[in-house]
Amino acid sequence: MMRTETEKQGVLMKRIMHDPLTGIYRATNDYVHATEALSPARLLFISGTMGLDDKGHAGKTIDEQLELIWSNIAVILRHADMTEQNIVKVTTFLTDPTFADANAKWRMKALGNQPVATTSVIVQTLDPTWLLEIDAIAAA
């Protein structure tokens, strides 16, 4: 697909974070209740991404897998002429609830401390070496 120079620049569209202060529980500093993307020209839906290296081998620890996942997501975003700053929604599938803190830390690091709408779910993965899987939505 041919893209114009404006499209190639991965221009960030305007977004509004929605975090009501009353009538709902408080969001923590690593996510917001909702992200509104104003007039996005493009939406990118990133499939569940695992902590696998380029040869398909899983990292041994949760931190190794999170580093690989966010590196893999960065490659996907660059291929679509976007950056991590285009991400508006992240869903994480964890195999163990004790991974939640590491997941939040790596997500905030990868997104430049920009909170986005986030969901985390405890699941069983298709391969026992996969400690988690992350999918995302980006808008530009």
Structure tokens at 125: 């993965």
pLDDT tens sequence across 78-94: 999 999 999 999 999 99
* pLDDT exceeds cutoff 90 at 139: yes
Report the C-alpha gap between 77 and 44 in whole angstroms: 8
Report the C-alpha gap between 127 and 7 in whole angstroms: 37
Domains and CATH numbers, the chain: 43-139 (3.30.1330.40)
- Lowest-confidence pick of 2-6, 28-32, 70-74, 97-101: 2-6
Closest by CA to 10, choosing from 76, 72, 70, 77, is: 77
